Chain A
């Protein structure tokens, strides 16, 4: 005889109801928000047919789908992240490093590659191998542009891990710290590539860096503020262009950290953006160009067409870049009559020459700037290789 007292039964039923709540309250309407929270596609609910063929896989898929959506996953994760940061002084994820003087570094793009960014920004970018590859393929791009009768320049944008390498803590492995310190201590092989039109303005940036956030936001991965102007000016000096833009100014605003914000850490930091009232975004043109380029993209193409009201400005430039171009496009547009920014992120392979063709059909261009973060220069190698195999040089 198995007896369960009524009190025990009541407690068990109440506990069952409580424990079931996180799953019982899952709502499919929240999927888009949760997808953004996880920064990936959510695990799909398994089809019922899968149950008969492979029940174990069916249950695993169902468990993964539940785990992605269990309530309240966002709030609980954010609470945990805050406890890690403020309770223990520990980064909420291993791909994030809390550096000295309040600087926050993104050392990896994902938790499965926790030092992937340090690897590319600090080790690969400043290696002899990268130098040799750029020396092979940048001339291909130079020829490509020359055949089209315009100039092309390459800008390698220094990033926080090298600019503030001395703020990296001991928790970062020695090889990465040493690699990040290399441009500061002994220079980078990238600086030797000026003869093939590559500009690596590390020295200019390091000379002007500060810790106020005006130069580079202390908790963001992407640069903004005065550092963007320094990069632009380095380019302009390289092409013997003036760097005086009286209407340009820096505007400060209190924002959450680009790195910590998505993790639910909502402390606000003063961040600065380069502004120029002479610039007007040509919305319809941007939209039309994005539509023209969409066949070459995995995700919707991101473009921006900016017109400069300053009567002294001349020429049209095409700026192709990674996400660093988001801020840089405004800075560079100040120097031209018109600037077309094409974000190369999510561009399909073997698309570069066709995208350039489309932009040329869209509007005449006088010069081209390819701007990438220092760890993203392999993209230029890839484009050079595409042109080589397509015999387009």
Chain B
């Protein structure tokens, strides 16, 4: 059940909102609805998720009650147990294929996300960054909360722990929550799905693509993945706000970056910071010389690639980004600093777009094929009208505009727009009315697409 589906919007969401408003036990309501949410998508596999919560609850208590070596040993055991679960469900088929064995394993919905949540909890408790959670329902709430269960953002336990026990839902929470949710819905349905409608058929017939088609395929996927994932993150943040939670921002206009280093500070920020704090820094970060820094970067990004999926293309994508960061660190950043900003933007977008081709491709052959088509001129370009219709051209333009902060800042002066806390205090009623009107229009336009059952794949579901 994706957030942009009819069953979620018109059955699950109203039932949840009514229950959350009416029931006194708010946390219990979220946990129960989260279990129902998972049950709808995965059936009795929900038992495995519950077992994971139970296991991590026990490990958390064990870690917190010990010191020294024993504390560390329990942490290692706990992380190993979580990673084994992740490897079993997500990577066993890939690993077996390396040995020429074919295994088909059911990929548990959201396993990458709830495993990382669990590891965040265990490490934060181990480091004493947060107190151990004595309430099993509260830990279940942190790990299973349906707004972020299947696609993030990845919540850090230390930051969310206080909100599990004390938070409030005011009119502004609901207002900004709805703004985030419906704007995210619009990004997903109106832009990402339209881009998917262009990208998917082109990637399917990648061997016949002309140069212009290969570029349109790459660019439409570049926009698709951004609006798909950032839209879903915005919906999650909105639902979180409605429940009184402050989820962290996950995207900060990544396509305005001027380098890959900057891109990773703006793209999937909760994943980047998770890897930085729980892997890169423990590995030594940049504190032990250039060589080890490069080794750490490559390790982190290869694992980041593999986190996205058990396939060579993801591994190559991770390696590609790791290597780009090293090259930037070694020499490129100094060169870029002297270049005009337009060159820096072009470089960053080109590098990112090439990366998305690697990421999107079903195989290394397909990736190499599309990239070759992109850079080898041909003479047989079909008319543009054959590749995209007028609606898609308008959507392309909108995607380009909304990828930058231009529209956001333009709207901000006369309408309340989605904002993280602390919310602006200088806004007056017309700002809120304008914000609500715009949001209603976006929702209405989204409904036009949702009702007609238009093509709506969700990329991050498989992670």
With both chains docked as a complex, state the minimum distance between the C-beta of B317 and any C-beta of chain A, in angstroms: 30
Whether, in the assembled complex, B50 has its beta carbon less than 8 Å from a beta carbon of chain A, the answer is no
Contacts of B5 in A (CB 8 A): 63, 67
Decide if A11 touches B171 in the complex (CB within 8 Å).
yes
Decide if A3 touches B390 in the complex (CB within 8 Å).
no
Whether, in the assembled complex, B406 has its beta carbon less than 8 Å from a beta carbon of chain A, the answer is no
Decide if B17 touches A170 in the complex (CB within 8 Å).
no
Decide if B169 touches A8 in the complex (CB within 8 Å).
yes
Whether, in the assembled complex, A9 has its beta carbon less than 8 Å from a beta carbon of chain B, the answer is yes
Which chain A residue lies CB-closest to B30? A2
Contacts of A236 in B (CB 8 A): none
Contacts of A23 in B (CB 8 A): 6, 10-11
Contacts of B11 in A (CB 8 A): 20, 23, 66
Whether, in the assembled complex, B27 has its beta carbon less than 8 Å from a beta carbon of chain A, the answer is yes
Whether, in the assembled complex, B127 has its beta carbon less than 8 Å from a beta carbon of chain A, the answer is no
Decide if A2 touches B166 in the complex (CB within 8 Å).
yes
Residue among B41, B171, B178 making CB contact with A7, cutoff 8 Å = B171
In angstroms, Cα B167 to Cα A9, docked, is: 15
With both chains docked as a complex, state the minimum distance between the C-beta of B216 and any C-beta of chain A, in angstroms: 14
Decide if B41 touches A56 in the complex (CB within 8 Å).
yes
Contacts of B389 in A (CB 8 A): 88, 90-91, 171
Decide if B1 touches A2 in the complex (CB within 8 Å).
no
Decide if A12 touches B43 in the complex (CB within 8 Å).
no
- Given A2-B168, A173-B382, A55:B178 Cβ within 8 A: no
Residue among A7, A10, A80, A170 making CB contact with B449, cutoff 8 Å = A80
Decide if A13 touches B21 in the complex (CB within 8 Å).
yes
1/0 per residue, CB under 8 A from B, across A10-24: the answer is: 111101111111110
Whether, in the assembled complex, A47 has its beta carbon less than 8 Å from a beta carbon of chain B, the answer is no
Decide if B40 touches A59 in the complex (CB within 8 Å).
yes
Contacts of A77 in B (CB 8 A): 451-452
Whether, in the assembled complex, B26 has its beta carbon less than 8 Å from a beta carbon of chain A, the answer is yes
Decide if A88 touches B18 in the complex (CB within 8 Å).
no
In angstroms, Cα B42 to Cα A157, docked, is: 53
Whether, in the assembled complex, A298 has its beta carbon less than 8 Å from a beta carbon of chain B, the answer is no
Whether, in the assembled complex, A193 has its beta carbon less than 8 Å from a beta carbon of chain B, the answer is no
Decide if A63 touches B448 in the complex (CB within 8 Å).
no
With both chains docked as a complex, state the minimum distance between the C-beta of B244 and any C-beta of chain A, in angstroms: 6
Residue among A18, A55, A90 making CB contact with B391, cutoff 8 Å = A90
Whether, in the assembled complex, B394 has its beta carbon less than 8 Å from a beta carbon of chain A, the answer is yes
Contacts of A70 in B (CB 8 A): 6, 10, 451
Decide if B167 touches A56 in the complex (CB within 8 Å).
no
Decide if A11 touches B43 in the complex (CB within 8 Å).
no
- Given A1-B165, A4-B168, A90-B389, A66:B6 Cβ within 8 A: yes
In angstroms, Cα B394 to Cα A90, docked, is: 11
Contacts of B386 in A (CB 8 A): 170-174
Name B's interface SS: helix
Contacts of A2 in B (CB 8 A): 26-27, 166-169, 244
Give the interface size bracket for B toward A: 35 or more
In angstroms, Cα B10 to Cα A21, docked, is: 7
With both chains docked as a complex, state the minimum distance between the C-beta of A334 and any C-beta of chain B, in angstroms: 43
Q: Residue among B14, B18, B26, B391 with the most chain A CB within 10 A?
A: B14
Whether, in the assembled complex, A194 has its beta carbon less than 8 Å from a beta carbon of chain B, the answer is no
Contacts of B178 in A (CB 8 A): 15
- Given A56-B42, A172-B386, A11:B174 Cβ within 8 A: yes
Give the interface size bracket for A toward B: 35 or more
- Given A91-B389, A170-B383, A173-B382, A67:B171 Cβ within 8 A: no
Decide if B14 touches A15 in the complex (CB within 8 Å).
yes
Contacts of A55 in B (CB 8 A): 39-40, 43-44
Decide if B171 touches A90 in the complex (CB within 8 Å).
no
In angstroms, Cα B383 to Cα A2, docked, is: 58
Whether, in the assembled complex, B437 has its beta carbon less than 8 Å from a beta carbon of chain A, the answer is no
Whether, in the assembled complex, A5 has its beta carbon less than 8 Å from a beta carbon of chain B, the answer is yes
1/0 per residue, CB under 8 A from B, across A47-64: the answer is: 000000011100100110
Decide if A8 touches B170 in the complex (CB within 8 Å).
yes
Decide if A19 touches B448 in the complex (CB within 8 Å).
no
Whether, in the assembled complex, A109 has its beta carbon less than 8 Å from a beta carbon of chain B, the answer is no
Whether, in the assembled complex, B376 has its beta carbon less than 8 Å from a beta carbon of chain A, the answer is no
Contacts of A171 in B (CB 8 A): 383, 385-386, 389
Whether, in the assembled complex, A89 has its beta carbon less than 8 Å from a beta carbon of chain B, the answer is yes
Contacts of A8 in B (CB 8 A): 21, 169-171, 173-174
Decide if B174 touches A67 in the complex (CB within 8 Å).
no
Contacts of B170 in A (CB 8 A): 5, 7-8
Residue among B21, B22, B452 making CB contact with A80, cutoff 8 Å = B452
- Given A1-B165, A9-B21, A54:B43 Cβ within 8 A: yes
Whether, in the assembled complex, B453 has its beta carbon less than 8 Å from a beta carbon of chain A, the answer is yes
Q: Residue among A5, A19, A22, A55 with the most chain B CB within 10 A?
A: A19
Whether, in the assembled complex, A169 has its beta carbon less than 8 Å from a beta carbon of chain B, the answer is yes
Which chain B residue lies CB-closest to A54? B43
Q: Residue among A4, A73, A84 with the most chain B CB within 10 A?
A: A4
Decide if A12 touches B17 in the complex (CB within 8 Å).
yes
Decide if A12 touches B451 in the complex (CB within 8 Å).
no
Residue among A9, A56, A80, A84 making CB contact with B451, cutoff 8 Å = A80
Whether, in the assembled complex, B242 has its beta carbon less than 8 Å from a beta carbon of chain A, the answer is yes
Which residues 274-298 of B sit at the A interface, judged by CB distance below 8 A?
Answer: none
Which residues 74-102 of A sit at the B interface, judged by CB distance below 8 A?
Answer: 76-77, 79-80, 83-84, 88-91
- Given A2-B244, A4-B168, A12-B174, A76:B14 Cβ within 8 A: no
Which chain A residue lies CB-closest to B29? A2
Whether, in the assembled complex, B414 has its beta carbon less than 8 Å from a beta carbon of chain A, the answer is no
Contacts of B43 in A (CB 8 A): 54-56
Contacts of A76 in B (CB 8 A): 447-448, 451-452
With both chains docked as a complex, state the minimum distance between the C-beta of A100 and any C-beta of chain B, in angstroms: 12
Decide if A16 touches B18 in the complex (CB within 8 Å).
yes
Contacts of B365 in A (CB 8 A): none
With both chains docked as a complex, state the minimum distance between the C-beta of B362 and any C-beta of chain A, in angstroms: 21
Contacts of A174 in B (CB 8 A): 382, 386
Decide if A90 touches B448 in the complex (CB within 8 Å).
no
Q: Residue among B20, B244, B385, B452 with the most chain A CB within 10 A?
A: B452
Which chain B residue lies CB-closest to A174? B382
1/0 per residue, CB under 8 A from A, across B386-399: the answer is: 10011100100000
Residue among B18, B40, B41 making CB contact with A12, cutoff 8 Å = B18
Which chain B residue lies CB-closest to A11? B174
Whether, in the assembled complex, B9 has its beta carbon less than 8 Å from a beta carbon of chain A, the answer is yes
In angstroms, Cα B166 to Cα A259, docked, is: 59
Decide if A62 touches B166 in the complex (CB within 8 Å).
no
Whether, in the assembled complex, B7 has its beta carbon less than 8 Å from a beta carbon of chain A, the answer is yes
- Subset of 26 A-B contacts with CB under 8 Å: A1-B165, A1-B166, A2-B26, A2-B168, A5-B170, A8-B170, A8-B174, A11-B171, A13-B22, A16-B13, A19-B10, A20-B15, A21-B10, A59-B7, A59-B40, A62-B7, A66-B6, A67-B5, A76-B451, A77-B452, A79-B448, A80-B449, A88-B390, A88-B394, A170-B383, A174-B386
Residues of A within 8 A of B (CB): 1-5, 7-13, 15-23, 54-56, 59, 62-63, 66-67, 70, 73, 76-77, 79-80, 83-84, 88-91, 169-174
Residues of B within 8 A of A (CB): 1, 5-7, 9-11, 13-15, 17-18, 20-22, 26-27, 39-44, 165-171, 173-174, 178, 242, 244, 382-383, 385-386, 389-391, 394, 447-449, 451-453
Supplied contacts A83-B448, A88-B391, 14 more A-B pairs, CB within 8 Å = A2-B167, A3-B167, A5-B168, A5-B169, A11-B171, A16-B13, A22-B6, A59-B7, A59-B41, A67-B6, A67-B7, A79-B448, A80-B451, A84-B391
